[in-house]
Amino acid sequence: MAIDVPVGELLLLATALLGAGLVTGFLSGLLGIGGGGILVPVLYETFGAIGVDPSIRMHLALGTSLAVIVPTSIRSFLLHRAKGGVDMAVLWRLAPWMIGGVVTGTAFAGFVSSDELKWVWVVFGTLLAMKLALGRDDWRLGDTLPKPPVVEIYGLLVGFVSVLMSIAGASFVVAFLTLYNRPLIQAVATSAGLGPIVAIPGVAGFIIVGWSDPLTPFLSMGYVNLLGAALIIPASLMAAPAGVKLAHGLPKRKLELAFAAFLFVIAMRFLASLLM
């Protein structure tokens, strides 16, 4: 696909992607999230600005965002593990079921339209925003994690929804673990370890389902744009340690409220585009 964009505009877009990378890395370390909540809308608008066909724009934003989440979430997980915050038993209990959900979700994404993927963002982005804004740290469903198959089914659903939103699933996992009396910092650290489990098979899936699509832009492998990932990944890796440092020393309520507001605005932006 030919790209006809002024050099100045391309530089502006590159700057926006680098900035998104810094925010992504910081939030990955601070909240254990992979950054898809930031990246998907930024990439969607960026691909629109350079003329990517609307029918694949959402697919490309999701796949590229997952590619960025891979190294960012791995770095965040290693940093949290070095501080002793990761519950490996919980991680391995959720991991295989989340992978199953990711594989199913990626296959599903290959058969749905860009607008249908926006609906996933509208519904679950709004739910996440409400949870962040209205949730309380002292809400509890129990003192220990439930017995099978509750955790396993939850992992399957989280993997399915997460890959369709191109998020690492951390917001869902943190909410679940804290409701069962796990300390917030342990929940954040453990959720960081689940980021690669969502992102790696998700990237592979978006490459496969988009491999033969003639509408993908230059420097793309399927629905993963390598140029976008190359600009964002270094910035996100540099910023992750700062987020981890703050996560182990500062309250995060104000940031949670800000992120909730951001998610709600983006969900409404996608809703408006669907209704127009």
Q: How large is the average pLDDT for residues 164-172?
A: 80
Tokens read off for 247: 């996560």
Percent of the chain with pLDDT over 70: 92
pLDDT one-digit tens code per residue, 122-167: 998 898 888 878 877 667 888 889 989 999 999 999 999 989 987 7
pLDDT value of position 265: 83
Is 171 exposed, middle or buried, given 0-12, 13-18 or 19+ CB atoms closer than 10 A? buried
DSSP structure string for 84-133: T---HHHHHHHHHHHHHHHHHHHHHHTTS-HHHHHHHHHHHHHHHHHHHH
Amino acid 4: pLDDT: 56
CA dist 44 and 267 (Å) reads 13
| Most confident range, picked from 42-51, 163-172, 223-232 | 223-232
Q: What pLDDT score was predicted for residue 166?
A: 78
pLDDT tens, 4-24? 556 776 677 688 778 878 887
CA dihedral 253, 259, 262, 264 (to 10 degrees): -80
Chain centroid, CA 214 distance in Å: 26
Q: What is the pLDDT of residues 234-258, one digit of tens each?
A: 988 888 888 878 777 767 677 677 7
According to the model, what pLDDT value does residue 5 have? 57
Pairwise CA distance, residues 237 & 68, whole Å:
10
CB atoms within 10 A of CB 15: 11
What's the mean per-residue pLDDT of the chain? 85
Q: What integer is the mean pLDDT of 184-196?
A: 86
Q: Tell me what pLDDT residue 47 has.
A: 86
Q: Mean pLDDT across the stretch 51-67?
A: 92
Say what the alpha-carbon torsion angle 168, 173, 174, 180 is, to the nearest 10 degrees.
Answer: -170
- The predicted model gives 256-275 an average pLDDT of 83
Position with higher pLDDT, 224 vs 168: 224
**Predicted confidence (pLDDT) at residue 199 exceeds the cutoff of 60:** yes
- Residue 88 contacts residue 187 (beta carbons within 8 Å): no
Say if residue 182's pLDDT is above 80: yes
Is residue 168 predicted with pLDDT exceeding 80?
no
pLDDT, residue 255, reads 67
pLDDT at 252: 65
Rounded to an integer, the average pLDDT of 35-60 is: 85
Identify the pLDDT of residue 6. Answer: 67
Q: What pLDDT score does 73 carry?
A: 83
Least reliable range by pLDDT among 31-35, 83-87, 242-246, 270-274: 31-35
At residue 228, does pLDDT exceed 60?
Answer: yes
- What pLDDT digit, counting tens, does each position of 20-47 carry? 788 877 877 776 666 677 788 878 888 8
Q: Is the pLDDT score of 205 beyond 90?
A: yes
**Among 120, 123, 22, 134, residue whose Cα is nearest residue 72:** 22
